[in-house]
Chains A and B, each alone.
Chain A
Amino acid sequence: MRYLPSSPAEDRALLDTIGVPRAEDLLVGIPESLRLKGGLDLPAQGSEQEVTWQMLDLANRNTRFCAQFLGAGAYDHFVPSAIDAMVSRQEWFTAYTPYQPEISQGTLQHIFEYQTLICDLTGLDVTNASLYDGGTACVETALMAVRVQKKRNTVLVSRGLHPLYRQVLATNFAPHDDLKLVEVDLKDGVTDLADLQAKLNGDVAAVMVGYPNFLGAVEDLTALAGPVHAAGALLVSVTQEALAFGWLEAPGKAGADMACGEAMSFGNKPNFGGPYLGFLAVKDAHKREIPGRVVGQTKDLDGRTGYVLTLTAREQHIRRDKATSNICSNQGLVALRANIYLQVAGPEGLKGLAEQNVAKAQYLRQRLLELPDMEPVFDHPFFNEFVLRYKGDMAALQEACLAESLLPGLDLGRFYPEYQGCILWCATELHTRRMIESLVEILARVPATV
């Protein structure tokens, strides 16, 4: 086995020092009756060459596309070369959690910078070292909202939140008989203000809305903040496409009390859904209720500035069942990718990229609407995703696109029965005019509905 360094003679020496003839003799602590008889029924070890081919074969069994017009929580953006080059340094990817600050300042300072950037993007005061992904970030935020709002036990969730985020929320709320998760309807593709007002009461701890929401629409956080705050609840903005922060006002400045979501767009490929990057940001008053790891600045004995994991009194290794969460890791390397991405992009790069996303999506929408079978559904400002109704045969559309190696948008009927026949389209800076025109040409040839 190429990964095991001792020679047979060295192994012998190790066993002699221990004082046992065979390695198996060290298993005495495991009762004979509980040991595995015979070996595992699995293939034998493979050489690097054999395994490379085997895995390449699997990778190649996925269909490759010239262009993907599908977003829905997983966005394809250009990844600057600096990111893979940097992240493949062993000092970053093979290191562990920075428990020993004197030997981990690299990771700690990186997380401190990452935290600064998340606060900047969201316009809020405090964040953590990152969470698993958008859906689980929603869970941690909702549970935190209930914690800080003491006697309130209900979280209102707009149906404009990513449907899979809502499913993750439901799973995690199910064990808590004392907590309630209530959905707020959509009207014209955004949170229905009348339904929201009807459901706001003294039990509501927080209201979660998409910004932009799953249907691509920019929800007016400021308008929603009025009634939400009047009812004593917190407004939580949930963003699944963090690049939108280059175009949209920071949620904290637009009326949100907490912001969470998914930041995979900063330096990652779609990667079949993970690893991604959950984030959560809150106001200073709530910092001691935040879940997960947090890095803080301090001094060493000689007064030099350095960084440490801090506010650990909230965490599971100290508080055990009273901890703010059971999470004891972060998405360290994905946060590093985001940090590098944001530093390379800078304010001008981020704004410019965001503008390009809007321009491409607007162009895609305009061109698609030239097709006789495509109809507008909503008229809201959108970032890089929007919904159109397709009057033709959905299966034929799928087939025509795939035949030309294009992945079309999401058939919304899968998640929203009320939007049966509608498609959620996405365009990013990766979509050239030519790709968009090809899509339109291909769709124009789809046979009309019988």
Chain B
Amino acid sequence: MFLRQREPLSFERSVPGKRGMDLPKLDVPTAKDTRPAHLKRSGFDALPELSEVEVIRHFTRLSKWNYGVDDGIYPLGSCTMKHNPRLNEKVAGMPGFTDSHPMAPDALIQGNLETLFTLQEWLKEITGLPGVTLQPSAGAAGELTGVMLIRAYHVAQGAKRRVILIPDSGHGTNPATAAMAGYEVVELPSLPDGTISFDDVTDPVNGKVRKGLKTLVNELGAEIAGAMITNPNTVGVFEYRFKEISDLLHSVGALVYMDGANMNALVGVARPGDFGVDVMHLNLHKTMSTPHGGGGPGAGPVCCVEKLVPFLPVPVVVRDTVKVGEGEVPKHSYRWDWNRPQSIGKVHTFYGNFGILVRALTYCLSHGSDGLKEATLRAIVNANYIRARLKGAYALHIDSPSLHEVVFSDTLQAKHDVHTLDIAKRLIDHGYHPPTIYFPLIVPGALMIEPTESEGKDELDAFCDTMLAIAKEVETDPEALHQAPTLAPLRRMDETTAARKPVLRWTKA
């Protein structure tokens, strides 16, 4: 990590005549050129000419400027950066999986279908919800699928409904998703601990009254298609009135969507299906530890109640059981069911990020019912340990019991003109990836820390000691924080110019 030499863009290294790939000998006649003259490839402006050695070195050097989970604690709140078991990578690379074609007949892909079916069974039991689709490729895609299920349900009931309620503490994806699904977003005010306010809230600054859940349900009633609620919410607090919220929404025929981004705090401990959730997504790259890959691929399966099952995306994997003689083990076969007249259709070209789903099932089998619950509890213990050790040195914005993550604010440091961004950048100098910063928006200067279950006491202590040292440094040498990072390959970046005069690709000089 932190190689301090420069690595030029590969295009700047290109030298005509170099080759990084040898082609097999052509054992059939050369192609006849059938293209119209104006559709013949005219050439390339950027594709570099490099040897394999140079390409390998280029990407190896670049990789050393990254921070990965194997480098140490990756305390990004809400992102759930936990250990990525190598077994999961090995399994996903098994040729039986990787070589299989998505258009192959069902009889030839029984292993894939059973893999998907089995993962679905695990997710049903974990969420307590009887319907699943594995098709969405990421959390945001899962949200969109879930909200489209809500819409399809209401349309089938003969009433379109136009509003989705979303708390101001929610992820930005929630309102963006509702808009993509054709809904108008009405914001629900949250209380200081991020939980939804039933009553109207008066803004202490401008005196404006924001309508709470009760008022909105009374006034909008049958216009409400549903609500999107993150639980545990974005400050790591369980929405303790969830059942009342869902009862209230159900009383006007609205459905409840749960953003499952923080489901890793509930697995084996509580099931959304038991507290009134109608539909939710899971982020398998969080909850099931599939690798984040520098931003993807992820997977965002959607689980739902029975009445939404007819609307699930096509195709749905089905298990048929062949009757056998008494005392024998029943034989199963699997197939895709495309004949689902009420389905919303397809949300991915094929069946989702299959390779990620294979990793998730491997994670489930490795953990088992006991390991899953243990992982949840350890994640909660680790977060509360950090909370206990850093409390006092950093302002704890809320005092409610928190689960898998803890949110501090920079109010104690702000007196010295040191802010969350400075603290984050100083952590880099100490060899740590910073926590999530300035989110959720309801906490001023938020520092959201999620250690996950993958950290042992030593690693937690080292991180806490560093955070405490930084808190001291704020008082003695605030300028050091303003200058941070100084030990990374680069110092702070000019993001304003980047956005004002965007340079989004290399061009030949």
Asked whether A and B interact, the reply is yes
A-B contact count (CB 8 A): 680
Question: Which of A18-26, A191-199, A438-446 lies at the binding interface?
Answer: A18-26
Given contacts A29-B401, A42-B369, A105-B65, contact A304 B490 (CB under 8 A): yes
For residue B64, CB closer than 8 A to chain A, the reply is yes
* Complex interface bits, A295-318 against B, C-beta within 8 A gives 1, otherwise 0: 111111110101010111101111
Which residues of B sit under 8 angstroms from A150, Cβ to Cβ?
none
Inter-subunit contact B348/A132 (CB<8 Å): yes
Give the number of residues in B that approach A within 8 Å (Cβ atoms).
Answer: 202
Inter-subunit contact B102/A45 (CB<8 Å): no
Q: How far is the CB of B365 from chain A (nearest CB, A)?
A: 5
Inter-subunit contact A298/B95 (CB<8 Å): no
CA distance A295 to B294 in the complex (A): 13
Interface centre among B19, B48, B55, B89 (most CB of A within 10 A): B55
CA distance A316 to B180 in the complex (A): 11
Q: Which residue on chain B has the smallest CB distance to residue A24?
A: B377
Interface residues of B in 1-51 (CB under 8 A from A): 1, 6-7, 9-11, 18-21, 23-24, 26-32, 34-36, 38-50
Inter-subunit contact B110/A62 (CB<8 Å): yes
CA distance A222 to B84 in the complex (A): 48
Inter-subunit contact B11/A86 (CB<8 Å): no
For residue B335, CB closer than 8 A to chain A, the reply is no
Q: How far is the CB of A320 from chain B (nearest CB, A)?
A: 4
Interface residues of B in 94-121 (CB under 8 A from A): 94-105, 107-112, 114-115
Inter-subunit contact A92/B50 (CB<8 Å): no
Interface residues of A in 45-92 (CB under 8 A from B): 45-46, 48, 51-52, 54-65, 68, 70, 72-74, 76, 78, 80, 82, 84-86, 88-92
Which residues of A sit under 8 angstroms from B368, Cβ to Cβ?
42-46
Q: Which residue on chain A has the smallest CB distance to residue B160?
A: A177
Q: Which residue on chain A has the smallest CB distance to residue B368?
A: A45
Which residues of A sit under 8 angstroms from B40, Cβ to Cβ?
248-249
Please tell me which one of the listed residues A18, A134, A327, A343 contacts residue B385 in the complex, with CB atoms under 8 A apart: A18
Which residues of A sit under 8 angstroms from B172, Cβ to Cβ?
315-320, 323, 328
Interface residues of A in 240-275 (CB under 8 A from B): 245-250, 253-254, 262, 269-275
Q: Which residue on chain B has the smallest CB distance to residue A290?
A: B504
For residue B402, CB closer than 8 A to chain A, the reply is yes
CA distance A434 to B96 in the complex (A): 23
Inter-subunit contact A363/B10 (CB<8 Å): no
Given contacts A174-B345, A347-B49, contact A328 B140 (CB under 8 A): yes
For residue A276, CB closer than 8 A to chain B, the reply is yes
Inter-subunit contact A35/B270 (CB<8 Å): yes
Inter-subunit contact B485/A102 (CB<8 Å): yes
Inter-subunit contact A72/B103 (CB<8 Å): yes
Inter-subunit contact B296/A331 (CB<8 Å): yes
Inter-subunit contact A330/B296 (CB<8 Å): yes
Q: How far is the CB of A154 from chain B (nearest CB, A)?
A: 17
For residue A359, CB closer than 8 A to chain B, the reply is yes
Which residues of B sit under 8 angstroms from A17, Cβ to Cβ?
385, 388-389
Inter-subunit contact B29/A332 (CB<8 Å): no
Interface centre among B29, B42, B499 (most CB of A within 10 A): B499
Given contacts A96-B295, A168-B346, A297-B498, contact A302 B49 (CB under 8 A): no
Given contacts A5-B456, A247-B35, contact A170 B428 (CB under 8 A): no
Given contacts A109-B62, A345-B20, contact A262 B28 (CB under 8 A): no
CA distance A401 to B109 in the complex (A): 16
Question: Which of B197-205, B213-221, B352-360 lies at the binding interface?
Answer: B352-360
For residue B349, CB closer than 8 A to chain A, the reply is yes
* Complex interface bits, B174-202 against A, C-beta within 8 A gives 1, otherwise 0: 01111111110100000000000000000
For residue B478, CB closer than 8 A to chain A, the reply is no
Q: How far is the CB of A118 from chain B (nearest CB, A)?
A: 8
Question: Which of B237-245, B321-329, B409-417, B468-476 lies at the binding interface?
Answer: B237-245
Q: How far is the CB of A324 from chain B (nearest CB, A)?
A: 9
Please tell me which one of the listed residues B59, B66, B96, B494 contacts residue A95 in the complex, with CB atoms under 8 A apart: B66
Q: How far is the CB of B178 from chain A (nearest CB, A)?
A: 6
Q: Which residue on chain B has the smallest CB distance to residue A349?
A: B21
Which residues of A sit under 8 angstroms from B292, Cβ to Cβ?
94-97, 332
Given contacts A26-B403, A103-B428, A329-B140, contact A112 B295 (CB under 8 A): no
For residue B90, CB closer than 8 A to chain A, the reply is yes
Inter-subunit contact A351/B493 (CB<8 Å): no
CA distance A101 to B67 in the complex (A): 11
Which residues of B sit under 8 angstroms from A112, Cβ to Cβ?
9, 504-506
Inter-subunit contact A298/B498 (CB<8 Å): yes
Inter-subunit contact B365/A135 (CB<8 Å): no
Question: Which of A6-14, A182-190, A201-209 lies at the binding interface?
Answer: A6-14
CA distance A115 to B143 in the complex (A): 27
Inter-subunit contact A93/B270 (CB<8 Å): no
For residue A368, CB closer than 8 A to chain B, the reply is no
29 A–B contacts, CB within 8 A, in A order: A28-B401, A29-B240, A43-B365, A45-B367, A56-B91, A56-B96, A62-B109, A74-B102, A74-B103, A92-B68, A94-B84, A103-B485, A104-B65, A104-B294, A116-B46, A130-B296, A175-B148, A220-B39, A245-B41, A249-B38, A287-B504, A298-B494, A301-B491, A310-B499, A316-B176, A328-B140, A334-B297, A344-B20, A345-B20
Interchain residue pairs A-B with the least CB separation, the first 10: A273-B350, A59-B96, A61-B111, A273-B102, A45-B368, A5-B456, A333-B293, A171-B345, A175-B182, A135-B349
